[in-house]
Structure 1
């Protein structure tokens, strides 16, 4: 059995942990839906240390107001993409703000090496 976790596992774990906190879902609630799995078993999955199976996600989906495993995965992916876009926008805004304030120049606006090489080419022409 593959014990390596993936980026998808991490995204899903973060999503489920956030939703559990928002909806007041405890590990005991999840344990019950999984037929009495141990607290450690559930904890490892909520922390992204282990992967969820599709059938487990199907069983816990209603706790998270989702219809099935695929809805949970889609929600996690959508939230992850939105977070990445927000972070990229913050970086973009910070860079533009520094450019407007003159704190950051554009590398292509002045190339002293090109000016020197232009002069050298003329000398040897």
Structure 2
């Protein structure tokens, strides 16, 4: 009798845990909108906005990779506060030092939130030091 009671309580707690939504690990609610990418005198300038579909503020880490073809030229990451309901129109600007590309440079951005934040390091692992 006692074992079945403990087992029943355990099953109820497990069901409640599985029913709780986990928004912190849901990067689909956060996205980066790149609006401008230019190069001038050894610096890449990146203008971007962040969309937050959540109903609460988030503090994601955003990683940027400047690429020449598939070869990374420069990388950076930053952590910033994104208010709830942001539509990406509030633009941020960063500059990244790096060499000029042989061809046409492009930028990739990846957003890491909550438990995914430690994955920024492996994503940036092929970047020059």
Provide the TM-score with structure 1 as the length reference. 0.21
For the pair shown, which has the larger CA radius of gyration, 1 or 2?
A: 1
Provide the TM-score with structure 2 as the length reference. 0.21
Higher relative contact order (CA 8 A, sep 6+): 2
Whose helix fraction is larger, Structure 1's or Structure 2's?
1
Whose strand fraction is larger, Structure 1's or Structure 2's?
2
